[in-house]
A and B are shown apart, each in its own frame.
Chain A
């Protein structure tokens, strides 16, 4: 599993295979039934809903089953910029999180190895954001980036930002928020692979007259690839479906709405369930395609 690197998995010990498969069946049945009922059925239900049409002379929010495939054309026409923004923002945020998270993970996992106490402390700081409401953390950034804060004033006096410019409600603040929110998800899997990295390989690289940069590109980076793949997936997938950062009450504005915002607005606000469902199906499909290609390209299928 790509996410296996998330927990510190010691190499799987091969267990003696047992034949009492009815025991396995009893163990599996409750969990599988739960997944069938509350994961697979909802996905089917989503696909069915996406083909529904309004009931004639019905109220808002009343739909009947049909095969109205035009729903898909309608939402693509209406919301293609939302899809572009969602994937664009998510890709930039994933790259930013990798650039921030990798050196941090390297420092904690490799450089701090001789000091276990410091290592444990720094690791706790990386997961600390999990312990406090992510909505409040995002609001904190909104307030730190508000128009009258010292930060914005300083940017304006340095002419980085025009005098009438804002930080919040821009693509920058949304990507900033996404990067911030998913940074621990990027850092932890990379840390897990780097923490197990055998530093003798690095010494071997140096002994063979490779520069530190060459050793990094040829040895460290390939060995930490599983962590990078896990981390980028754990960042990219939730980021592309997120709608908190891009919503107007948080870091976004009407100009930064992502697909998640469109799904939320259609489902919960406008009660336009078929269009919300069609948007969800397209989003899910695109993510599966992107993740599939990515995993194949990086040659890490066996992680799944």
Chain B
């Protein structure tokens, strides 16, 4: 026994920290069942109406659709560009490598408000009208660095012998890449894409500077915060939460099952 104190104090402290983290989630979920019309602040009564008629609140479903669209397109751009960058950085030695690494680190070290204002200033100078396109450009930018970090870790842990075996068997460079490298990188790429989508879906600050009049889901919530939140917003957030949680749990159990299978096979 190393920490006699930690025996019960540490679990208790951790439980309190987790309760702190989860309280607002429970609150949001509970209030998605609130029988209120406009301002969802005081508990009125239990109803399922908000869940069955989500799109009744004006603009909430349209904003949700826009967020999905932006998330998917921005994720595609960031994942493709980021994967290529990650492979180049992990596999090749070339001059200026450290400069490129720094360049990829900087967007993560830049506060969102500066990124947002910078892009907005650029669009203003260039006379580009703000709208769906500028939101997507902005989202793909801040997702890019996170994709590179995630995929790079996967490339670095890849066994080069597998690709050598492919070449020994007379596979062309293209075949080796599509049949061996890419499938092996897939878990990393999927993880990066999911992270990227989650970042895009929840972004407000950068979006706010570049959205023109276009309403994403967080923009909807922000505007509604001032004039009264419809409970349908809680419904959408809770539904997305449950979906994401299911994805994570399924991913965890399947990878645990695979590990068990591999352990048995050995």
Contact = CB atoms under 8 A, between A and B. Distances in A.
9 contacts: A25-B94, A42-B115, A106-B10, A107-B11, A117-B256, A128-B25, A136-B237, A203-B2, A244-B204
Interface string A1-34: 1111011111011011110010111011011101
A132 B240 contact: yes
B263 interface: no
A48 B122 CA distance: 10
Given A124-B248, A125-B22, A136-B234, A45 B13 contact: no
B58 to A, nearest CB: 18
Given A3-B149, A13-B159, 13 more contacts: A17-B92, A18-B91, A23-B92, A24-B92, A28-B88, A28-B100, A103-B17, A132-B240, A136-B234, A141-B24, A143-B27, A260-B113, A273-B121
A167 interface: no
A143 B153 CA distance: 41
A284 interface: yes
Contacts of B229: 136, 139
Interface of A: 1-4, 6-10, 12-13, 15-18, 21, 23-25, 27-28, 30-32, 34-35, 38-43, 45-46, 48-49, 100-101, 103-104, 106-108, 111, 116-117, 120, 122, 124-141, 143-144, 146, 180, 183-184, 202-203, 206, 212, 215, 233, 237-238, 240-244, 249-250, 259-260, 263-264, 267-268, 273, 276-277, 280, 283-284, 287-288, 291, 304
Given A49-B125, A122-B18, A42 B209 contact: no
B18 A126 contact: yes
Contacts of A146: 41
Interface string B54-77: 000000000000000000000001
Contacts of A277: 117, 121
A40 B118 CA distance: 9
Contacts of B238: 132
- Name the 4 nearest CB pairs between A and B, nearest first: A241-B111, A42-B118, A140-B24, A131-B244
B178 interface: no
A21 B81 contact: no
A212 B2 CA distance: 6
Interface string B220-250: 0110011001000110011011001100110
Contacts of B119: 38, 42
Contact size class for B?
A: 35 or more
A127 B249 CA distance: 12
B48 to A, nearest CB: 20
A112 to B, nearest CB: 9
A245 B262 CA distance: 47
A276 B225 CA distance: 24
B261 interface: no
B10 A131 contact: no
A8 B153 contact: yes
A234 B47 CA distance: 40
Contacts of B111: 237-238, 240-242, 260, 283-284, 287
B24 A49 contact: no
Nearest to B255: A120
Contacts of A27: 84-85, 87-88, 92
A264 B113 contact: yes
A34 B143 CA distance: 12
Given A13-B159, A46-B117, A128 B106 contact: no
Contacts of A267: 117, 120, 209
Given A2-B105, A35-B103, A13 B113 contact: no
Given A30-B84, A133-B237, A3 B14 contact: no
Nearest to B110: A284
A241 B111 CA distance: 5
A130 B10 contact: no
Nearest to A43: B118
Nearest to B92: A24
A42 B150 CA distance: 25
Given A133-B202, A139-B225, A243 B113 contact: yes
Nearest to A267: B117
B108 interface: yes
Contacts of B141: 34-35, 38-39
A48 B121 CA distance: 9
B172 interface: no
B93 A291 contact: no
Contacts of A3: 105, 108, 149
B92 A131 contact: no
A283 B25 contact: no
A95 B222 CA distance: 28
A206 B2 contact: yes
Given A38-B141, A268-B209, A280 B114 contact: yes
B23 A202 contact: no
Given A18-B92, A30-B84, A136-B28, A124 B252 contact: yes
Contacts of A23: 88, 92
A50 to B, nearest CB: 9
